[in-house]
């Protein structure tokens, strides 16, 4: 009886392990592939068939090399694109958090005329496809001289990250007892100070989750970066990745190295803030 | 000197008027309890004094100054919440000093005040802990400490003991009383527990349906209630209300009960008070449980004796609550355990009519 149970448990454990391994292979396989490609030496192009990469990809390159990484920063302004991505993603993260926390606090703690309509409008704003916003954004950019500026890109990115993070923060703030606000008000705080000293520190997991989502959304966003920018001064990583892929000849080694370097910050952030991110998304983890 | 005045204060939520124009003056250093059933408007009144709730009409004055439009932070009040409302991300010391830091007080002065309050409340060992590492009673103390250090003009307590278990509640009640001896500040204390109000307050304000039913000292409310509501609300178990009639018999007044038909002579000192009610048969006799006793021998002056059958007995040690039916109403009496009350058995009881109240059901007032 006992032995049978133990056996059943062991068999189940094996199945779970096999399943997990399959999922892991499926999601990490491409990454491994890219890594191998990035250390495979680039071959000279065949100029008779310039549009084809004549490179042989092997699972274990005979002469692994880091040359592709070097070329990435020497032959293309990769560092500039990396910097642009960082500035715009960070800027959007900050702007989104400011807008979302101020807005969410208002929605959660105040009853005002049109409150529900505003909330619905927010939801609708979030569901509008980015493509629809392109033309109006271009017009606004031209009017206010925001074409090809980091600020313009940050504002554009915030149009879809801010509503999303706002909803997330509304969810989060609603779990905090109103008594805390009132205690702080009696203790001498203005509403803004209550937000700053009490609500935000208690919402740290939610802020981290919202901030990271905003960062990642922007980091990965190709559409705005591609269509709203025309100079290398503001173009971001997804744009150069496309250029690599469509280049003639396609430079697979450099392209793979670029892909890996672009993935790195996001992966690092995930690793660092994993726990906070999970608890922040499962709002309501804070209890007095 | 910090008097609190409420002048015709009204609070409406939409069309519903939850506080209906109350007038109240709380003297400097006075401890006033607001009591009443849930929904009577007592907490809303307190929150209006705190500035956490806007006032629909009327004025509130603290220390002679109209504060109706002041934010809570500008009213110089401190409040203890039912949920304690301690800041979870701060230590006890940080919680207690938070208000003082907002006033930009010097650090040395803050430390002195926090240490002093911690000493008074016996929480010196807890200063470095976070609220989640504290028990309910300890959190309660910290919440009070946070109020004390501010040295405000007015303390506001919003059902501070409701979240504690029965034993701790009694203990903390005594603590609050002890604290009161050390820190004498004008205090408004909201509770639905009339025992808390009776034991703590200098004066009690009984509220019902957004209005003040009666204001008085605990003694006045208990012994001279002015309305049926107050008579029934104050005291536990509550006052018995028995349908009764009053009749003139010669130069005396008689109190008549039905089922069984009983007739008691109303004590002479009450004649003047009840003379106008002679001939009325729709009255209510109000008698507290402790004004019944086991009858022995001839009735004492002012007492009426009757025979009844005991339905239920509830011994609670020092006394026994007995329940029986009189005039179609279930009555509770407090008897000594030696009174010989047994369930299902007859017992002769005496009602102390010198303590009686007569209520006119038409007006709801005690005559």
Q: Predicted ipTM?
A: 0.85
Report the run of H or E that residue A10 belongs to, with start and end: helix A2-38
> How many contacts, defined by CB atoms under 8 Å, are there between A and B?
69
What sign does the dihedral A88-A94-A97-A102 (CA atoms) show?
Answer: negative
How does strand B346-352 pair with strand B357-360? unpaired
Cis peptide before B130 (omega within 30 of 0): no
In the block, residue with structure tokens 């009327």: B58
Give the nearest chain A residue to B150 (CA atoms). Answer: A187
Contact A213, A276 (CB under 8 A): no
Kindly identify which residue of chain A lies nearest to residue B90, measuring between CA atoms.
Answer: A198
Cβ neighbours around A248 below 10 Å, total:
10
Min Cα–Cα distance to chain B from A186, Å: 5
d(CA B118, CA B131): 15
pLDDT in tens, A156-183: 999 889 999 999 999 889 989 999 999 9
User: What's chain B's Rg over C-alpha atoms?
Assistant: 25
pLDDT reported for residue A1: 58
Query: For residues B324 and B306, what is the distance between their CA atoms, to the nearest angstrom?
Result: 12
Q: Are residues B81 and A182, on separate chains, in Cβ contact within 8 Å?
A: yes
Range ranked top by mean pLDDT from A184-198, A269-283, B291-305? A184-198
Closest-CA distance, B86 to chain A, in angstroms, reads: 7
DSSP per-residue letters across B58-107? EEEEETTEE-TT--GGGS-EEEE-TT----TTS-HHHHHHHHHHHTT--H
Residue A73's pLDDT band (cuts 50, 70, 90)? confident
* Residues in A touching B52 (Cβ below 8 Å): 182, 185-186
B18 close to B210: Cβ distance less than 8 angstroms: yes
Q: How far is A41 from A39, CA to CA, in rounded Å? A: 6
Rounded CA-CA distance B259/B150 in Å is 61
At A284, is the pLDDT very low, low, confident or very high (cuts 50, 70, 90)?
very low
For the residues of B283-296, what is the DSSP string, one character each?
EEEEE-GGGEEE--
Identify the CA nearest to B53 among candidates B15, B10, B109.
B10
Which CATH number describes the domain made up of A67-281? Answer: 1.10.3720.10
Element (H or E) spanning B253, and its range? strand B252-257
Q: Do A182 and B89 touch (CB under 8 A)?
A: no
In Å, how far are A78, A156, B170, B307 from B297, measured between CA atoms? Answer: 110, 96, 40, 13
Q: Which of A238, A240, A233, A198 is nearest to A217 (CA)?
A: A238
Per-residue pLDDT tens over the stretch A252-275: 788 888 889 888 888 888 888 887
pLDDT at A53 over 60: no
C-alpha A68/C-alpha A60 separation (Å) is 16
Q: Are residues B196 and B33 in contact, defined by beta-carbon separation less than 8 angstroms?
A: yes
Instruction: Identify all chain B residues contacting A183, using CB atoms and an 8 Å cutoff.
Output: 79, 81, 85-87, 146
- Residue A154's pLDDT is 93
Q: Which residues pair with B66 in a beta bridge?
A: B61
Chain B CB contacts of A193 under 8 Å are 102
Low pLDDT (below 70) residues in chain B: 1
- Contact list in A for residue B84 (CB cut-off 8 A) is 288
Q: How many CA atoms lie within 13 A of B225 on its CB side?
A: 25
What is the Cα–Cα distance from A108 to A288, expressed in whole angstroms?
Answer: 18
- How far is the C-alpha of B304 from the C-alpha of A192, rounded, in Å? 68
Name the one residue in this structure whose structure tokens are 């309890």: B33
Closest residue, chain A, to B88 (C-alpha): A288
The residue among A199, A184, A21, A24 whose CA lies nearest residue A106 is: A199
For chain A, domain boundaries: 2-27, 67-281
Residue that is written with structure tokens 């104050």 in the block: B234
Residues of B with Cβ-Cβ distance to A180 under 8 angstroms: 85, 87
Q: Per-residue pLDDT averaged across A177-199, rounded?
A: 93
Residue in chain B closest to A190 (alpha carbons) equals B73
Q: Are B138 and B123 in contact (CB under 8 A)?
A: yes
Distance from C-alpha of B54 to C-alpha of B36, rounded to nearest angstrom: 21
For the ranges A38-52, A177-191, B122-136, the lowest mean pLDDT is seen at A38-52
**B72 vs A177, A185, A287: nearest CB:** A185
Query: What residues have CB less than 8 Å from A122, skipping those under 6 apart?
Result: A163, A166, A167
Q: Which residue from A183, A197, A198 is facing B81, i.e. has the nearest CB?
A: A183
- For residue A288, what pLDDT is reported? 37
pLDDT for B199 equals 92
Closest by Cβ to A202, choosing from B73, B89, B102: B89
Which residue, among B84, B87, B143, B158, would best test binding to A if mutated, counting the most A CBs under 10 Å from its CB? B87
Q: Which residues of B touch A284 (CB under 8 A)?
A: none
Residue B241, beta-bridge partner list: B286
Contact between chains at A186 and B50 (C-beta distance less than 8 A): yes
Is pLDDT above 80 for A56? no
Q: Cβ separation of A187 and B102 shorter than 8 Å?
A: yes
Chain B residues contacting A, CB < 8 Å?
A: 50-52, 71-73, 77-79, 81-89, 98-99, 102-103, 131-132, 146, 150, 156
**Radius of gyration (C-alpha) of chain A in whole angstroms:** 24
Share of chain A above pLDDT 90, in %: 36
Residue to mutate among B44, B72, B147, with most A CBs inside 10 A, is: B72
Q: What is the DSSP string of B330-365?
A: EEEEEE-GGG---TTSEEEEEEEGGG-EEEETTTTE
Which pLDDT tens digit goes with each residue over B41-61? 999 999 999 999 999 999 999
Question: Which pLDDT value is given to residue A287?
Answer: 40
Contacts of A182 in chain B (CB under 8 A): 50, 52, 72, 79, 81, 85
Q: For residue A201, list chain B residues with Cβ-Cβ distance below 8 A.
A: 89
Kindly give, in sequence order, each residue whose CB lies less than 8 Å from that of residue B59, ignoring residues fewer than 6 positions away. Answer: B5, B6, B7, B8, B9, B66, B68
**SS3 call for A287:** coil
Residue B212's beta-bridge partner residues? B207
Nearest CA in chain A to B133: A288
Residue in B78, B83, B87 closest to A186 by CB: B78
Contact list in B for residue A187 (CB cut-off 8 A) is 73, 78, 98-99, 102, 146, 150
**Closest chain B residue to A181 measured between Cα atoms?**
B85
Interface contact B73-A286, CB threshold 8 A: no
Q: Which residue has the tokens 């999601």?
A: A27
Q: Are strands B154-158 and B77-80 parallel, antiparallel or unpaired?
A: parallel
Q: Check residue A92 and give its pLDDT.
A: 95
Substitution target from B44, B73, B96 for chain A, most A beta carbons within 10 A: B73
Question: Could you read off the pLDDT of A200-222 as tens digits, one per residue?
Answer: 999 988 899 899 989 998 998 88
**Rounded distance, CA B72 to CA B69, Å?**
9
* C-alpha distance from B97 to closest chain A C-alpha (Å): 10
Q: What is the DSSP letter of A228?
A: H
- What domains lie within chain B, and their CATH numbers? 4-233 (3.40.50.300), 240-366 (2.40.50.140)
CB contact under 8 A, B98 and A187: yes
Q: How far is B102 from chain A (nearest CA, A)?
A: 6
* Average of per-residue pLDDT across A98-113: 93
**Which residues in chain A touch residue B50, judged by CB atoms under 8 angstroms apart?**
182, 186
């Amino acid at each position: 009886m006992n032995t049978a149970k133990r056996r059943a448990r062991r068999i189940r454990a094996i199945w779970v392990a096999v399943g997990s391994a399959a999922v892991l292979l499926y999601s990490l396989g491409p990454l491994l592939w890219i890594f191998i490609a990035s250390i495979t030496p680039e071959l000279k192009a065949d100029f008779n068939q310039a549009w084809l990469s004549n490179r042989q990809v092997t699972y274990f390159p005979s002469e692994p090399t880091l040359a592709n990484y070097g070329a990435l920063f020497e032959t293309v302004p990769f560092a500039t694109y990396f910097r642009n991505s960082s500035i715009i993603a960070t800027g959007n993260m900050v702007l989104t958090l400011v807008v979302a926390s101020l807005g969410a606090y208002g929605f959660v703690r105040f009853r005002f005329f049109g409150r529900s309509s505003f909330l619905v409008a927010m939801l609708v704003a979030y569901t509008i496809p980015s493509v629809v916003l392109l033309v109006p954004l271009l017009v606004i950019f031209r009017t206010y001289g925001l074409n090809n500026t980091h600020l313009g890109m940050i504002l554009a990115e915030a149009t879809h990250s801010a509503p999303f993070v706002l909803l997330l923060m509304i969810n989060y703030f609603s779990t905090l007892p109103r008594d805390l606000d009132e205690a702080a008000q009696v203790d001498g705080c203005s509403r803004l100070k209550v937000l700053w000293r009490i609500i935000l520190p208690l919402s740290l997991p939610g802020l981290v989750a919202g901030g990271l989502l905003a960062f990642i959304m922007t980091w990965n966003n190709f559409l705005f970066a591609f269509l709203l920018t025309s100079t290398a001064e503001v173009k971001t990583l997804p744009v150069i990745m496309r250029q690599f892929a469509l280049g003639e000849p396609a430079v697979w080694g450099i392209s793979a190295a670029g892909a890996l370097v672009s993935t790195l910050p996001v992966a690092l952030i995930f690793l660092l803030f994993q726990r906070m991110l999970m608890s922040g998304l499962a709002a309501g983890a804070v209890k007095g | 000197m910090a008097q609190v005045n409420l002048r015709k204060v009204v609070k409406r939520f939409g069309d519903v008027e939850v506080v209906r124009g109350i007038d109240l003056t709380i003297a400097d250093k006075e401890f006033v309890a607001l009591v009443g059933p849930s929904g009577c408007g007592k907490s809303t009144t307190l929150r209006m004094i705190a500035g956490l709730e806007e006032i629909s009409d009327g004025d509130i004055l603290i220390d002679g100054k109209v504060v109706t439009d002041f934010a809570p932070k500008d009213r110089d009040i401190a409040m203890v919440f039912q949920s304690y409302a301690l800041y979870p991300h701060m230590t006890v010391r940080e919680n207690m000093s938070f208000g003082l830091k907002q006033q930009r007080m010097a650090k040395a002065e803050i430390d002195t005040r926090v240490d002093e309050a911690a000493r008074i409340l016996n929480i010196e060992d807890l200063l470095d802990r976070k609220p989640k590492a504290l028990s309910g009673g300890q959190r309660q103390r910290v919440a009070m400490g946070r109020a004390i250090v501010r040295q405000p003009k007015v303390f506001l307590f919003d059902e501070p003991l409701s979240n504690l278990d029965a034993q701790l509640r009694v203990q903390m009640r005594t603590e609050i009383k002890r604290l009161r001896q050390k820190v004498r500040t004008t205090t408004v204390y909201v509770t639905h527990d009339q025992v808390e109000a009776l034991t703590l307050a200098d004066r009690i304000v009984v509220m019902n349906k957004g209005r003040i039913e009666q204001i008085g000292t605990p003694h006045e409310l208990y012994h001279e209630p002015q309305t049926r509501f107050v008579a029934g609300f104050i005291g536990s178990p509550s006052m018995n209300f028995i349908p009764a009639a009053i009749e003139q018999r010669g130069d005396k007044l008689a109190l008549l009960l039905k089922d069984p038909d009983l007739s008691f002579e109303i004590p002479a000192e009450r004649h003047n008070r009840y003379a106008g009610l002679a001939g009325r048969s729709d009255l209510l006799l109000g008698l507290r449980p402790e004004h019944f006793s086991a009858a022995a021998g001839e009735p004492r002056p002012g007492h009426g004796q009757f025979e009844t059958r005991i339905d239920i007995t509830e011994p609670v040690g020092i006394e026994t609550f007995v329940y029986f039916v009189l005039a179609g109403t279930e009555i509770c009496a407090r008897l000594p355990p030696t009174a010989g009350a047994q369930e299902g058995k007859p017992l002769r009881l005496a009602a102390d009519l010198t303590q009686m109240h007569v209520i006119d059901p038409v007006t709801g007032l005690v005559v």
